[in-house]
Structure 1
Amino acid sequence: MDRRTPVTASAISRPGETLLNDIEYRFRLMGQGPSPLSVDGRSLGHGLPRRAIALSELSVILMHPSCGYAARDAVWRLLVQRARTGDPAWHAGAVGVALPGLRFKAYLLAKLFTGDVQAAIVEHFLRALSTVDLARPGVVGNLLSAAFSKARTELRDLEPASSGAPNHVPGAVVPPAPYGHPDLVLARAVNAGAITAQEAELIGVTYLEEVSLTAYAERTGQPRWNLYKRRTAAVARLRAAIESGELFDPYADVVNEATATLVLDTPTSRKRP
């Protein structure tokens, strides 16, 4: 890829390839050769290898359970700063390192919409690189949350069911509002008495938008341990209501799967308020 060419979702893809698979292929190529795109682990610190780390290796290190939040944030602050220089190679590198998160977000969006969810999530991730607040903890989570939110809005506006355009693909029609939106599944759970409005916000933000429990606690001024206990109890009631059919909705499985698989910043021991 020409380092002088601006990177967009369409510029990354090749005909006949799914976008995220093609990004992964190109990202692996970036890690080969005598001078792969890399960062200096010695200057980053936080237990990272004290040498040049190719981005393809870096992505594996960041996924390992032994890599702490401080190390992830240090790496992502550097990646965002490099991307903001305007060098397309660093735009592509940041997308490559974020691929696991982008795949999960695209999976959730594909449950809701029939549009090009991969292009939407990548395009909005690239835009978020220039706007994310590097002073806030959880840099990559904030990037992915912003990309998911913007992509969801864009795709919802393009849906045939909401625009009135016909769609004859079997099973492809997304019901008009108030269906087809995980936040509205949570709203119906509130109306049904399964969870409270406060619990719906807590679940929606920390599971569907990938805001960590610590960040949410700081935002609201509440003890993290109390939030964790409230969320655990609320999720149990919500999943029971979904699985019993009480909250039947063609997209309720998005909420059910997210609360079953994505647990962010879970405290391992009780902390004092």
Structure 2
Amino acid sequence: MSEPWPSTPLAAAERAFDLLTCPPTPLSLDCRAITGMPPTVLPLNQVKRTLTSSATPRPVRDLVWRELVIRARRDGPAWVVAAVGVAMPGLRRTAGMLARGWRGDIADLDAELLAGFLQRLGTVDLDEPRICGRLVDAGARAVKQARDREAGAEFVRVARVWTAPPPEPWDHPDWLLSRAVAAAVIDPDEFLLIAWTRLDHLSVQVVADRLGVEVEVARAWRRKAERRLVDAIGGGELDWSSLLPKGRKVTDAARPAGAAG
């Protein structure tokens, strides 16, 4: 008896990718013309492993992603599924960060993440670096917009004076960085660059090697990302402070008259 089809969007996309890449006729990419890749035709699950390896330089990843996006635009649904499947490690990591503090159905956020990714797949500039990162960023922005739409149901609104304690001016650094990714202030790679060097105290050289960039590039990249982070914190962009206690929902009895259901 076959396994039931997954009920969550990311798991379903991953299953579809696995089916496309299983023997005897896995969907494959001709890598012979892609500098830095093995000079052969590779099944896409092997392409995925190569792209997620720290030994693969970023420019090589972008060359492969350029080809994947071209195929997705030109060759139909199988290659769209392929693009999602190859990006799945980044999508999973981003989904995990975006889900922190969310009390609704995680599948809803995953669906928004995929929708944003797929919409951007048709328009992303292939001459700019970080093709996959920018696709995942678009998904993150879609999730942030969805969370903002839901915020109306999580915040108490009243037509009279309301006293509430001010939000604490501090937060766990990981949560702050996660919200910055969700708000598209920084991307997932910048999250890792800042977290690994500032919080885990790894050297910039070690992290630069992991990310496939030169150490001076990594330092400049981190500096720009941290500048955006400081501006976002100062501007209140990363403040998600609900007036409701954690885990509590607004009941019909507690809603002010005229509030949406």
Q: Paired residues, what number?
A: 187
Equivalence for 1:43:
33
- Native 8 Å contact 1:98 1:140 kept in 2: yes
Q: Tell me, in whole angstroms, the C-alpha distance in 2 between the residues paired with 1:124 and 1:82.
A: 19
- Per the alignment, residue 206 of structure 1 pairs with 186
Quick one: higher RCO (CA 8 Å, sep 6+), 1 or 2?
2
TM-score of the superposed pair, with normalisation by structure 2: 0.59
Greater CA drift, 50-59 or 155-164: 155-164
Give the Å deviation of 1:209: 8.1
Match of 2:43 among 51, 54, 60: 54
Aligned to 2:128: 136
Q: Which of 14, 18, 38 is the equivalent residue of 1:24? A: 14
TM-score by length of 1: 0.57
| Distance change >3 Å, CA 15–CA 59, structure 1 → 2 | closer
How high is the sequence identity, in percent, across the aligned residues? 31
Who wins on radius of gyration, i.e. which is larger? 2
2:52 equivalent to 1:63:
yes
SS in 2 for 1:39: strand
Give CA-to-partner distance per residue, 1:19-44, whole Å, 9 cap, x none: 22222222112111332211111111
Offset at 1:205?
3.2
State the Cα deviation string for residues 139-158 of structure 1 (Å, max 9, x = none): 11111112111221123213
Q: Deviations over 1:75-125 (max 9, x none)?
A: 111111111116000110000000011111111221143241111101111
Equivalent residues of 1:138, 1:212 under 8 A apart: no
Aligned to 1:225: 219
CA-atom RMSD in angstroms: 4.0
Q: Give the Cα–Cα distance (whole angstroms) in 2 for the partners of residues 106 and 129 of structure 1.
A: 18
Give the gaps of 5 or more residues in structure 1. 1-13, 165-177, 180-184, 190-199, 215-222, 236-246, 251-273
- Pick from 83, 96, 111: which aligns with 1:119? 111
Name the CA shift for 1:134/1:154 in 2 (closer, same or farther; >3 Å).
same
